[in-house]
């Protein structure tokens, strides 16, 4: 049985189009960013130079370089301390947001919002387009900052395993 959202029975004729567009964009981005490199290798270091939709360039939002070794070590120790305090609820929230591509949860939420509160004209289409362009641009800017400064300050152990894995 199809859900009301996927079948278009939620009261607006074009909800199926919104779903199809969001699925297409999600699949396209996931396929275009797939990498066969090993975890030890840099994952797509050129992403920061990809053409963007809203930003002029990825470097438009480049972060400053990391602080000195002492400040970085202090921040990493604080992160390790906070990570040690994670409970089951925190790990569940991490797993929720770590599911599938970054597009998935945001599109899922916007589909629910659009279904519950129909917008006139093409406003739903515009909302999906703007959100997905922003989601696409964000890793471009992130990767630009990430690879602008490839290494941590000298003497800092940055080995930090991700949560939930």
pLDDT per residue as tens digits for the range 84-127: 999 999 999 988 988 888 789 999 999 999 999 989 988 999 99
Q: How far apart are CA 151 and CA 21, in angstroms?
A: 39
For 62, what's the count of Cα atoms within 13 Å in the CB-facing half-sphere?
Answer: 16
pTM above 0.85, yes or no: no
pLDDT at res. 108: 94
Q: Please, what's the largest Cα pairwise distance for the chain?
A: 60
- Supply the DSSP string of 15-37, one letter for each residue: HHHHHHHHHHHHHHHHHHH---S
**Spans of all domains in the chain:** 4-66+102-148
For the record, the structure tokens of 38 come out as 């090993």
């Amino acid at each position: 049985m199809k859900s009301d959202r996927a079948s278009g029975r939620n009261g607006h004729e074009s909800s199926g189009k919104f779903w199809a567009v969001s699925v297409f964009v999600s699949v396209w981005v996931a396929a275009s960013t797939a990498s066969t490199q090993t975890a030890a290798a840099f994952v797509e270091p050129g992403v920061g130079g990809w053409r963007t939709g809203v930003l002029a360039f990825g470097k438009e939002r480049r972060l400053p370089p990391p602080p000195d070794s002492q400040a970085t070590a202090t921040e990493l120790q604080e992160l390790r301390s906070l990570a040690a305090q994670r409970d089951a609820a925190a790990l569940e929230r991490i797993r929720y947001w770590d599911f599938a591509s970054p597009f998935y949860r945001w599109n899922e939420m916007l589909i629910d919002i659009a279904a519950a509160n129909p917008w006139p004209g093409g406003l739903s289409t515009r909302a999906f387009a703007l959100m997905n362009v922003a989601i696409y641009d964000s890793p471009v800017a992130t990767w630009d900052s990430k690879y602008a400064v490839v290494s941590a300050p000298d003497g800092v152990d940055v080995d930090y395993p991700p949560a939930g894995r």
